[in-house]
A = this chain, B = another copy of it.
Amino acid sequence: MHYVDGLECSEFDREVFTELREGGLACVTVTCGYWGDALESMDSLAAWRQLEHDNADLIGIARTAADIEKIAADGRTAILLGFQNSAFLAGRIRFVELFADLGVRVAQLTYNIQNDIGASCYEDPDSGLTRFGRETVAEMNRVGMAIDLSHVGERTSIEAIEHSVKPVAVTHANAASLVPHRRNKSDDVLKGLAARGGVLGVSGYRNISGPYAESIDTWAEMVARTVDLIGIEHVGIGTDLGRKVTFEHLQWMRQGRWSAQPQYGAGSATNPGKQPPLPWFPDTRAFPAKEEALRRHGFDEPSVAAVMGGNWMRFYADVLPESGNEKPSREE
C-alpha cells in the first residue's frame, strides 16, 4: 500500500522530510507557490532542487508515475512539484510546456481570485473557463501537468472538467454537501470529476472540515460519506498540511499582492488566525493512524488502499507524462 498526500503547503526542511519518512509517505504534492510570477516561480523550483540535493536520502523529485514507484521503492518519499495558482505562467500559453520541462506536475488554475484562466471560489460572478483558460487546460493535458481545481469557482470547475481530456483533481477540499463552505465542492463538480476519472483529496483542515475535524474517526466518517457520494475510486487524501507555516506565511497566501484590504481566505474577520494543528494529525507521522481509522470504520482492504494512496497513484499514471525530461545530474 502506498500512502499519498495529494497536497501539502508545508514549509519543508529536513525535519519535515523526516516526518514524511516516519509517516511512510510514498508521495506528496508540495506547494511551490501562490502568487509568484514566472521568475519568482523559477526561484522556487531552483530552491526545490537544492532541497532535493541536500535531502537525497529522504526524498526525490518525481516527474512520472514510474519515478514515484522507484523513489518509494528506495524507501524515500517522492515529491511532486505543484503550484496553487497558475500565476507562474504569467499569461503565456507557451510557458505551460516550459514549466513542465522544469518538472512542474500539478497546477491549480487560480488561487482565491479571478485571473486570466478563470474564477476562484471566492469570486462572484464566475467568468467560467476563459479562452486562455481553455488553451491552458489543453496544454496541461498535452504536457502531463495535473489540473487542480481546489480553490477554483463552481462554473470554472465544471467547464474545466468538461474541457479537459484527462482526469482532473481537487487535491484538497471536501464535499460542500457535507460541510458547507465556499472552498468545498458541490455535488455537481464532484460527480463530474468522478465521471471523468478524477480524484478528490479529502482534507481535515479545520476551516473546511467543520465537525469532521474533531477526531480521526469523524474524519474517517467524512471519507465514508464522500465515498458514498462519488465512489471509492475517486477519493484520496489531501491534508493541506501546513507544517512550519507561520501566520506571516498564511497572510501571504491570503493577501498576496492583489489587495490592500484584509483578506481572510477560508477564515473570516472573526476567525482570522492560523488554525491550531489537529491533535490527531499534527504532522505526517500520523498517516498510519488514518489507515487504521478507515479500517476501524469498516473499509475493506482494497478500499483502504485506494483511499490511502491507490487512487492518487492511478490518477498520476493517467495524467503525468510517460517519460520525464532527464534532469542533469549535479556535479560535486
A residues bordering B, Cβ < 8 Å? 35, 37, 87, 90-94, 113-116, 119, 122-123, 125-128, 130-133, 135, 139, 256-261
Query: Within the complex, which residue of B37, B125, B127, B259 is in contact with A93, where a contact is CB–CB below 8 Å?
Result: B259
User: Could you show 9 A-B contacts with beta carbons less than 8 Å apart?
Assistant: A37-B90, A87-B91, A91-B115, A93-B258, A113-B130, A115-B116, A122-B131, A123-B130, A135-B258
Tell me, in angstroms, the Cα distance from A110 to B130 when the chains sit together: 14
Q: Which residues of B contact A123 (CB under 8 A)?
A: 127, 130-131
Known A-B contacts A87-B91, A127-B114, A130-B113; the reply to A135 vs B260 at CB < 8 A is yes
Closest CB-CB distance, A129 to chain B, in whole Å? Answer: 10
Q: Which residues of B contact A130 (CB under 8 A)?
A: 113-114, 123
A257 near B127 with CB under 8 A, answer: no
Q: Which residues of B contact A122 (CB under 8 A)?
A: 131
B37 near A259 with CB under 8 A, answer: no
Known A-B contacts A127-B114, A127-B123, A127-B125; the reply to A94 vs B257 at CB < 8 A is yes
Tell me, in angstroms, the Cα distance from A128 to B260 when the chains sit together: 20
B113 near A115 with CB under 8 A, answer: no
Tell me, in angstroms, the Cα distance from A116 to B260 when the chains sit together: 15
Query: Within the complex, which residue of B116, B125, B128, B135 is in contact with A116, where a contact is CB–CB below 8 Å?
Result: B116
Closest CB-CB distance, A303 to chain B, in whole Å? Answer: 41
Tell me, in angstroms, the Cα distance from A94 to B258 when the chains sit together: 8
Given contacts A37-B37, A113-B132, A127-B127, could you give 5 more A-B pairs where the C-beta distance is less than 8 Å? A116-B258, A122-B131, A123-B127, A123-B131, A132-B258
Closest CB-CB distance, A137 to chain B, in whole Å? Answer: 13
Closest CB-CB distance, A40 to chain B, in whole Å? Answer: 10
Q: Which residues of B contact A257 (CB under 8 A)?
A: 91-94
Known A-B contacts A123-B127, A258-B92, A261-B135; the reply to A114 vs B116 at CB < 8 A is yes
